[in-house]
C-alpha cells in the first residue's frame, strides 16, 4: 500500500492542481492538468488519489482502459 501523506500535504500548495499522465492506446503519454486530492476509497476506505476530469475526455478513456496513471504536483515543501 502506498503512503499518500506527502502527496496530501503538497496538494494545497498548488490549490489542488496537478498534472496527470495516463497512456494512450499506443502507450505514448498524454498529459493534462486536473484538480486532485486524497479521498477515502469507496470500497476499502483506505486513502486514494482522485481527480476531476470532464466525462468522455482522453484522460478518462485512458485511465479506464489501462488503470494506471502518474500524478505529479508542481509545488514542493516550503523552503525547497
- Domain extents in the chain: 5-72
* 48, 2 Cβ separation under 8 angstroms: no
* Lowest mean pLDDT, pick from 26-30, 59-63, 69-73: 59-63
Q: Read off the pTM.
A: 0.68
More confident residue, 75 or 76: 75
* 5-36 confidence digits (pLDDT tens): 888 888 888 888 888 887 777 888 888 888 88
Reported residue count of the chain is: 80
Residue 13 pLDDT: 84
Residues with Cβ within 8 Å of 47's Cβ and at least 6 positions away in sequence, in order, are 4, 8, 38, 39, 40, 41
* 42-58 confidence digits (pLDDT tens): 999 999 888 887 766 66
C-alpha to C-alpha distance for 68 and 59, rounded to whole angstroms: 11
- Sequence-ordered strand ranges (E) for the chain: 17-21, 32-40, 47-52, 70-72
Amino acid at each position: 500500500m502506498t503512503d499518500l501523506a506527502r502527496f496530501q500535504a503538497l496538494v494545497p500548495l498548488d490549490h489542488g492542481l496537478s498534472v496527470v499522465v495516463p497512456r494512450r492506446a499506443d502507450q505514448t503519454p498524454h498529459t493534462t492538468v486536473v484538480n486532485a486530492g486524497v479521498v477515502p476509497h469507496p470500497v476499502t476506505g483506505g486513502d486514494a488519489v482522485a481527480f476531476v476530469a470532464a466525462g468522455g475526455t482522453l484522460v478518462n478513456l485512458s485511465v479506464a482502459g489501462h488503470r494506471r496513471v502518474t500524478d505529479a504536483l508542481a509545488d514542493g515543501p516550503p523552503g525547497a
